Amino acid sequence: MRAYKPVPVYNRKDIPLLLFFIFFTLMIIIAIRTSAQKYQVAVFTGIANYQGDLKPVVFTFTQARPAFQVVGKIALTNHWIFRAGYAQASIYADDKFNRSYLQPRNLNFRTNLSEVHAGFEYNFFDLDQRRFTPYVYIGAGIYRYNPYTYDNGEKVYLQPMGTEGQGLSQYPDRQFYKLKQYSIPIGYGVKYKINCMLAVSVEFSQRKLFTDYFDDVSSSYADPALIAAAHGAQAARLSWRGNQLPGGNPSAPVGTVRGNPKENDWYYFLGTTLHVNLQNCNTGDFFLKSIFQRKGSFKNSTARCPKVTL
């Protein structure tokens, strides 16, 4: 039997994540050394959810899990903003909460999710002139995930199980899906300016994915005997769990629909964001500059109040 090892969802050597933190650090350094009126930080807290084979509904609060994001921004004009961010969340879905005709399948999954993204945000109104504005953004992202489930209390990562016959010669078109993938973030929100340093917003954002295996479900049922021979009895057991329900079908309906490969999965965020302008409105300095000045890191300086604000 071929041994498969799960690919860890977290990797400290992940290059995209490292590049984001390098960018974020450079932005802070520039803000400290120069007028920081165009530099902003935003912190998002809310929920994460997904749409896919285990949850076909486009949007729902059911089974939502906490999510967190930190975003660095550079205001290019009073309307256009460049942004780059890091997101952390968890996703969960279970057929027992699914549509009635899908519940007999009895599948479920969980995954931790980490993402870096960058793109452009557009404020419809100038916040120098108004207190609020709708805004939209679009960009590109890279995310890591690793779907897993529990089998008799044991945590089992699903990707190496090949639950749909991935890696078998009998199913040459089914390959193991990658645990690091690309996405297109698309976001919408309404922002309210508290003062020239602070703003809050309510934001909804979606991620267009290029895989249908975010939930480990996509195609038809493979022969459990072939799965067991290649990946073990546990893999076959996790490919069909309808037999675990009272009165459930004892065997997988081989060749019938397990998922819908014509529609890729999505995940999305909903929550509130606190936006912070990095320039002090009274002195024009970077808002932490006084701390460094007391340590002798900077010379005293003054600047006018920022024109570009959140």
Q: What is the pLDDT of residues 246-264, one digit of tens each?
A: 999 888 899 999 999 999 9
Predicted local distance difference test score (pLDDT) of residue 128:
85
What does the pLDDT read at residue 2? 45
Query: What confidence tier does 126 reach under pLDDT thresholds 50, 70, 90?
Result: very high
Residue 74 DSSP label: E
Residue 190, strand partner residues = 134, 202
Mean pLDDT confidence for 122-129: 93
User: What's the whole-model pTM score?
Assistant: 0.82
Contact of 252 with 240, CB cutoff 8 Å: yes
Give residue 3's pLDDT band: very low, low, confident or very high (50, 70, 90).
very low
Percentage of the chain beyond pLDDT 90 is 72
Q: What are the structural domains of the chain?
A: 15-94+108-152+177-221+260-294 (2.40.160.20)
Reply yes or no on whether the pLDDT at 164 is more than 70.
yes
For tokens 């599948």, the residue is 107
Neighbours of 240 (CB within 10 A): 24
- Count other C-beta atoms under 10 Å from residue 226's C-beta: 17
Cα–Cα distance, 240 to 106 (Å, whole number): 8
Q: Which is nearest to 36 in space by CA: 199, 296, 276?
A: 276
What is the spatial distance between Cα 253 and Cα 242, in angstroms, rounded to a whole number?
10
Evaluate the CA torsion angle 90, 52, 179, 13 in order and state its sign: negative
Of the pLDDT bands very low, low, confident and very high (cuts 50, 70, 90), residue 142 is: very high
29 CA to centre of own chain: 27
CA 275, 279, 282, 288 torsion-angle sign: positive
- As a whole number, mean pLDDT of residues 292-301 equals 50
Q: Assign 13 a pLDDT band (cuts: 50, 70, 90).
A: very low
Residue 307 reports pLDDT greater than 80: no
**Residue whose token pair is 């350094």:** 29
Least confident of 17-31, 51-65, 92-106, 240-254: 17-31
What is the predicted pLDDT for the residue at 36?
43
Nearest to 234 by CA among 291, 168, 112, 149: 149
pLDDT of residue 309: 47
